[in-house]
Structure 1
Amino acid sequence: MEKILIVGATGSTGKRIIEILNNSQSFEPVAMIRKEEQKTIFEDMEVEWVLADLEQEDFSGAMKGVKKVIFAAGSGGDTGEEKTTEVDEKGAIKIIDAAKKAKVKKFIMLSAMGADEPSSHPKLEHYLKAKAAADKHLEESGLNYTIIRAGRLSDDMGTGKVELAHKLEGAGEIPRDDVAFLLIMSLADPLVQNMTFEAIEGEEPIKSAMIELSRE
């Protein structure tokens, strides 16, 4: 089984990713936590955890035995510019560099729609610029990667159906459940390899949508 480091494991999307992976026959989740008191969440689930903070410098311990990384952390854009820069840009870049040094096989990034044109979204411009900088760093890192620029995340029940494209027309939202499945399915090496795409809720089943996009 491949060990998958989940960055942002204590967030709503991160927890859903771990719940799904914990029942997988192919992948073993490793939860990255910032505070030791958060370990009980994952110990109760019998999930391995590592202590590391996106605002620190050394992530070598977090990468031990890890084959792939899912980055699902984020400030959400409403925690102030300094925190956004530290987490969404600098933190992501440091994790990418650590993953490259550890020779991980694939890095999957949860990004945001609008990261390709931050100035079009004045209220989220700083957040989207931070996301864009991290995305660019990953694209240029030499790592195998998938970057999913999701629409507005909702807590609605997942439908298992999405709309995917390198660039979608208009905006939209997507349940966290479906984003979690998109991130997990991106672990499969042939799918959406070295690709950046946008995702919102739609009418096509996740698997067939990803296969179709991979063929483009």
Structure 2
Amino acid sequence: MENILVAGAHGNVGKRIINLLKNSQYFTPIALARKDEYVEDFKKDHVKVVKGDITSDIDHAFHAIDKVIFAAGSGGERLTEVDENGAKNMIKAASKAQVKKFVMLSSMGAEHPEKADQLQDYLKAKHKADEFLKESGLKYTIVRPGHLTNEKGTGKIKLDLKLNEHGHISRDDVAQTLVRALQDDAPKNVTFEILQGETLIGKALSEVQ
């Protein structure tokens, strides 16, 4: 069993990630929690938890960690502090700890934020974090979904390095894609976009070139 540190574990996608990891035969979730009440929530749910804030020194959270999923977000209020610098802090700590893989939840549009009609500042922060990860020397997968919904997941997606279309995808399917990207046979050192689609998530990932 590999220990997976999840940043943003108390968020909408993060909670789904934790549940998937809890039920996995390969992974043990370690929730990274910023607030005391979040720590207590995870303990009540019998999830291992470490208290830490990604906007400050986070090295202590990486004890015995094998891989990382970064699903944290500021909700648009502290973009540079959380979405950019928080991610960079996690990447630096992951590099020091020599984790095997870093899976990043990004966003469609982060490749060229200057072209976006809206959310430019958010996409700029995500772009800088993604580029920092690419240059870190860590093995990585960067997942860029379209608009997130709370619809029930289908286990099927549309995936390509660049989809050249807009659309939506359920948080369930995003979480499943991020967890599936942890597998040793999943693509590494690659960035791709995902939307709701008709291809099983495992098959879509296996076809990434």
- TM-score for the superposition, normalised by structure 2: 0.98
Q: Which moved more, 1:22-31 or 1:115-124?
A: 115-124
- Please name the residue that 2:51 is paired with: 51
What letter matches 1:70 in structure 2? I
- Please name the residue that 1:68 is paired with: 67
Aligned equivalent of 1:190, options 181, 185, 189? 185
How big is the shift at 1:20?
1.0
What letter matches 1:9 in structure 2? A
The superposition leaves residues 156-182 of structure 1 with CA deviations (integer Å, 9 ceiling, x where unpaired) of 000111000000021111100000010
How big is the shift at 1:39?
1.5
How big is the shift at 1:25?
1.4
Contact 1:54/1:86 (CA < 8 Å) preserved in 2?
A: no
Q: Which runs of 5+ in 2 are unaligned?
A: none
What letter matches 1:166 in structure 2? L
- TM-score for the superposition, normalised by structure 1: 0.94
What letter matches 2:199 in structure 1? E
The alignment's C-alpha RMSD in Å is 0.9
Aligned equivalent of 1:200, options 192, 195, 199? 195
Q: Which runs of 5+ in 1 are unaligned?
A: none
1:98 aligns with 2:93: yes
Aligned equivalent of 1:112, options 96, 107, 112? 107
Percent identity over paired residues = 50
How big is the shift at 1:89?
0.3
How big is the shift at 1:192?
1.4
How big is the shift at 1:86?
0.4
3-state SS, counterpart of residue 151 of structure 2: coil
How big is the shift at 1:122?
3.6
What letter matches 1:51 in structure 2? K
Partners of 2:81 and 2:204 lie apart in 1 by 34
How big is the shift at 1:93?
0.4
Aligned equivalent of 1:152, options 147, 156, 163? 147
